[in-house]
Amino acid sequence: MHSFLPLFYEQSATPAIIKHGMDVLRQAVEFLNPGQIPVTTFDQPLFALAKCIQWKWPDTHDEKVYVVMVGGVHTEMVLWNILGDVLDGCGWTTALTEAGVASHGTAIIHI
């Protein structure tokens, strides 16, 4: 089952609506696939709220009965940032500049 947000018209950045959304999704998954553990991805701020909900209600929302993940956008942003740090100072900009592929400023932007 795939679902896309927003599921609700209310502001999503509150613990109450995150918990309600998790409850609704758990009921939908249980109805469609009995026994399957629901998996939900959140962006980074909402992921933090979802983890707090899991810690506060371990009987119904624990990691063993409900999986929450950070969405791919934040993971990709972090990986690109780390890649830039790794490539910074490795000589990549110098190689691009000396080969005449790009100016120094353009080479830095590409990293």
Best-predicted range by mean pLDDT among 12-16, 83-87, 103-107?
A: 12-16
DSSP string of 23-56, one letter each residue: HHHHHHHHHHSTTPPPEEEE-HHHHHHHHHHHHH
> Domain boundaries in the chain?
11-70, 72-111
pTM, entire model: 0.63
Query: Could you tell me the end-to-end alpha-carbon distance of the chain, in angstroms, rounded to an integer?
Result: 38
Region 92-96: mean pLDDT is 82
- Between CA 73 and CA 76 the distance in angstroms is 5
Q: What percent of the chain has pLDDT over 90?
A: 43
Read off φ and ψ for residue 2, nearest 5 degrees: -115, 140
Q: What is the pLDDT of residues 52-77, one digit of tens each?
A: 999 999 999 999 999 999 887 777 88
Report residue 36's pLDDT band, with 50, 70 and 90 as the boundaries.
very high
